[in-house]
Amino acid sequence: MIDVLAVVGPTASGKTALSLELAKHLNGEIINGDSMQIYRDMTIGTAKILPEEMAGITHHLIDIKEPDESFSVAEYQQLVREKIAEIQSRGKLPIIVGGSGLYVQAVLFDYRFSKEAVDQELRERLNKELEQFGIEWMHEKLLKLDPQSDIHPNNTRRVLRAIEILMSGQQKEDRNLALSPMYNEVIIGLDMPRSILYERINQRVDIMLDRGLVEEVEALKQRGIRDVQSIQAIGYKEIYSYLDGQWSLELAVEKLKQNSRKYAKRQFTYFKNKLPIFWIDALEKPEKNLQEIIAFMQGNDRNCRIDKLTANQMPTEK
């Protein structure tokens, strides 16, 4: 019996709509799986679901932090596992929905965050890479490990520290804990041709602007929210550059669309390499996808699970 369901996919792939249908049909409650939707007053730029759009489905871990508060994967892991137990105690199905692959992975698998000192050999190796290749290369390395990372590429110390922590945890996981599940979970992934996805991303940015993205960011700026974790999110850092007079609005919007498309590509890479996902066609009729997902869940068991997953089409560049 499946005790946790997750719906993942790149930005603008239709996760929200599908998750609502699944929650209705499976007696579920939704847990936010996006690291930026936890922040209050950051609604438009994070494409956060509005209360009137929730269709009576209970949603968890939205608007739980102020924009100037920090938030970590380890904290998310603890909060979500508590929510899963709480939802299950009511006889309902927890459904994690979002595009932050590392966050979903940290919850569903035995992903441990060591408090011990980082291996000195690893630190020395990373410092040599920094000296040889530069901070931009190291920042790209970080984004491959955690596509949702909001650390500024110029913050060398934080970039290196984040890589150290992620690589230390990943090495341990690779040796002992790879795909060691904490639950009897199913992860659903939404796929579509890249050209269509990128057009949807561009359209979503235009809609955000029409809904008042610039005004939302300006309100944060007027409150003195600056140089914090949340503002490094795509959609906010670009508009800040416009409001600070560094870019024109046209350039800021162009950068926002470009960064969103790049992020979607990194999301796909992470999902493909790190998570066992049952992929569905995001452009298919919702009724058909719903039937396919339910049929897969009903036929799922731990012994045949991986064979079923690898038999399905994985996302490819289309």
15 is in an annotated binding site: yes
Q: Torsion angle of alpha carbons 221, 205, 283, 274, nearest 10°?
A: -50
* Short-list 142, 131, 150, 108, CA closest to 3: 108
180 is in an annotated binding site: no
Q: Could you give the CA distance from residue 264 to residue 12 in angstroms, rounded to a whole number?
A: 9
Instruction: Please classify residue 313 by burial: count the beta carbons closer than 10 Å to its beta carbon, then call 0-12 exposed, 13-18 middle and 19+ buried.
Output: exposed
19 is in an annotated binding site: no
9 is in an annotated binding site: yes
Given a contact cutoff of 8 angstroms between Cβ atoms, the answer to whether 311 and 278 are in contact is: no
DSSP state of 27: T
Q: Which residues of 28-40 are buried (b: 16+ CB within 10 A; e: fewer)?
A: bbbbbbbbbbbbe
Q: Could you give the CA distance from residue 265 to residue 40 in angstroms, rounded to a whole number?
A: 27
Output the known binding site.
9-16
What residues form the annotated binding site for substrate?
Answer: 11-16
Binding residues for ATP: 9-16
